[in-house]
Amino acid sequence: MRYLKEEDRELASRYLFLSMALIVIAQDIHTIENGTFKIKEPYLELLRKMEHKGKAERKYLKEVMKNKKLDVIYLNKNESFSSYLFTCNGYEEKRNYFNPAIRKNVETIIYELMRKGMQANHHHLASAE
C-alpha cells in the first residue's frame, strides 16, 4: 500500500541518490588530491563544478522537501537491498532499493552533473577565445 504521491516519492528518491552521488564525488576529489595523478587540476576542476551543481540542486530539493514536510530516513542495508523510510505529512512509506539499482541511479546522476560541469567549462573556454 502506497501513501506518498508519485511526485513526492520521485522528489525524495532524487534527493537520496543525489546525496549519494555527492558523497562519491567528494571521495573522488579526495582520492585525486592525495593520489599520484601527474596533472590533477583538470579532474579536480570538473569534479568541483559537479559538486557545486549537485549541492545547489540538493539545496533546492531540501527546501522543496521542507515545505512539503517530506523526509528520507535510512533504515538498514544488507547484501542485496537498502531500506529507507519516506515520510510526508504524517504518512510513511518504506522503500527497498536493490543495491545495484542504487549504483546505477547514482551513476546516472554523476553523468548528468558531469555534462553540466563540462557545459560550464565549455562556456568558460568559449568566452576566453
Domain parsing of the chain, residue ranges = 6-124
* Residue range 12-65, pLDDT digits in tens: 999 999 999 999 999 999 999 999 989 999 999 999 999 999 999 999 999 999
In this structure, which amino acid lies at residue 124?
H
How many helices (DSSP H) and strands (DSSP E) are in the chain? 3, 3
* Residue range 59-68, pLDDT digits in tens: 999 999 999 9
The phi and psi torsions of 65 (rounded to 5 degrees) equal: -65, -40
Alpha-carbon distance 13 to 95, whole Å?
9
- DSSP code at position 38: S
